Homo-oligomer: A and B are copies of this chain.
Amino acid sequence: MKTIGVVDTTFARINLGGIAATEIKNNYTQIKIIRHTVPGVKDLPCACKKLLEESGCDLCIALGMPGGQPIDRQCAHESSLGLIAAQLMTNKHILEVFIHEDEAKEPKKLIEIAKDRAKKHAHNAVNLLLYPKKMMDNAGQGLRQGSMDAGSLLEE
């Protein structure tokens, strides 16, 4: 049985961890989930690494919602670098699921993007762990999380 860590933030304005965890529970009975919440995106790398190394998680999903100011973009950038470093130190994947507050003006649209992105990456997480062939079958297919797929250019 595989364990997925789901880490989100109190800064986010949408319960992203809840969306991802529910999507996994509803679709895969053989996955155990451990949730954790930190203040902001810069706290995600450490929390994920602890789950991967100290709590036996096989993969983490790191969810956050950076604000729309330049300083927020920088925080997200720093967090992303930390998440990649944490993966390299553990040899385990961490899927980053960031929804930038300026991706949409309407809260309704932002929620829609967030749900689509969090749910699709929940499936990616399970596929990376259990069904790598499913991932490979979609190589170069222009898949998107948070919007419609872009599709393959080769078939245009």
Contacts and interface: CB of A to CB of B under 8 A. Distances in A.
Interface of A: 8-18, 35-39, 42-43, 45-47, 49-50, 53-54, 65, 71, 73-75, 77-89, 91-96, 100, 107, 110-111, 121, 124, 128, 132, 135-136, 138-145, 150-154, 156
Contacts of A94: 46
B84 A84 contact: no
Given A85-B85, A132-B37, A13 B111 contact: no
Given A36-B132, A42-B80, A46-B92, A140 B15 contact: yes
Given A53-B91, A88-B86, A93-B47, A121 B39 contact: yes
Nearest to A114: B153
Contacts of A139: 8-10, 12, 15-18, 35, 37
Contact of A82 (B49, B65, B88, B154): B88
Contacts of A89: 88
